[in-house]
Amino acid sequence: MERDFKGVWIPKEIWLDTRLNALDKVILTEIDSLDDGENGCYASNQYLSEFCQCSATKVSTAISKLQEYGYIEQVDFDGRHRKIKSCLTKIERQPYEICKADIQNVKANNKDNNKDNKNLIIRGNKVDVYKDIVNDYNMICSRLAKVERLTDSRKKHIKARLGEHSREDLTIAFHKLNESDFACGNNDRGWEADFDWLMKNEENITKVLEGKYDNRMNPIEKSFARALDNIRSGVNDNGSYFD
């Protein structure tokens, strides 16, 4: 991606925000540098993962966290491409209370606690883990039906899934579900996934995490991708190497 700029600058409030790890701050800075103010940032997770030299999963988790803390917002999504706006110019610059990093970052860095904790510590306050997960789902899964009520049955299923998967796994599953055309109704049955289907049992969420509902390439796209791979590796279609 081309842009005309002389460098990046990280405000001290972000640099000292111990809720964010170093990768979160780099991703936020890159999104902010790509946001031209009018058109926003169209960078995909794949681009950001290559730029930051990390996995797309880590990018997905970072973006979810940045949205949760109000540093970025998704303003458009056409089913395949999203537009993200940096909110740095909107944020009131007030210093955050500097607390111990291991307490403030418990949500991202302490997976084992997710199995037993009923509360997460965010911004120095206790937040109901059930509401936190539902809010994440509603924010990330913009193509699917929103959760309007947090019932006892839903709490029961959330608790069960947290006993099997980490909090980070749930965030990844939300992103994968929202990016799946099939799960969002593009299938011959008109079926759409929702929060209850995802959290109902371990099987459903595991299938999503393992990529069963990921978008598949059509034959033309597969042929094109194979040709690109051959070009990169210097191999002809007949298996011989290019001269």
Q: Are strands 72-77 and 82-86 parallel, antiparallel or unpaired?
A: antiparallel
For residue 104, give the H/E element and its range: helix 101-104
How far does the chain reach from its first CA to its final CA, in angstroms?
32
Residue type, position 199, single letter: M
Q: What is the DSSP letter of 117?
A: -
Residue 219, CA distances (Å) to 112, 215, 225, 228 in order: 42, 13, 10, 14
Contacts of 192 by beta carbon, 8 Å cutoff, 6+ apart: 144, 145, 183, 184, 185
The domain spans of the chain are 8-98, 99-216
* 8-98 placed in CATH 1.10.10.10: yes
The string of pLDDT tens digits covering residues 51-60 is 898 888 888 8
**Cα–Cα distance between 189 and 186 in angstroms, integer?**
8
Q: Write out pLDDT tens, residues 84-128.
A: 888 876 544 334 343 334 334 433 443 433 433 334 433 334 447
| Rg, the chain, Cα only | 20
pTM above 0.75, yes or no: no
Give, for all 243 residues of the chain, the pLDDT tens digit. 566 667 787 888 888 888 889 999 999 999 988 887 777 888 888 888 888 988 888 888 888 888 888 888 888 776 567 788 888 765 443 343 433 343 344 334 434 334 333 344 333 344 478 988 998 899 899 999 999 999 999 999 999 998 888 888 898 999 999 999 999 999 999 999 999 999 999 999 999 999 999 988 666 655 665 666 666 666 555 555 555
204-219 residue pLDDT tens:
999 999 999 998 866 6
